[in-house]
Amino acid sequence: MTDKPVAEMTFEQAMAEFEAVVQQLDRGDVALDASIALYKRGAALKAHCEAKLRAAEEQVEQLVLNADGQPTGSRPVGDM
């Protein structure tokens, strides 16, 4: 676990740390106070990753291109 603020992490950094937090909690060899701190950090990392994914989906929706490679407007990601 790093001391880097979650808000400053890239998606990849946050996801890697989230996976490490889950592994630590799954092992069950962490003291109660440390488990609570890990759980809070994991929840923040999960929320950050979800926000980054939503932002990426919104960008993709804006990048619908026509045959000439020019933007044609927005379409939901599922309609591509």
How confident is the model over 10-64, as pLDDT tens digits? 999 999 999 999 999 999 999 999 999 999 999 999 999 999 999 998 888 777 6
pLDDT score, position 3: 85
What burial letters (b/e) apply to 23-49, b meaning 16+ CB within 10 Å?
A: ebeeeeebeeeeeeebeebbebbbebb
Give the global pTM: 0.76
Q: Where are the domains of the chain?
A: 6-79
pLDDT digits (tens, 9 = 90+) for 55-79: 998 888 777 665 566 666 655 555 5
User: Topology of domain 6-79, per CATH?
Assistant: Helix Hairpins (1.10.287)
| Helical spans, DSSP H, in the chain | 11-27, 32-62
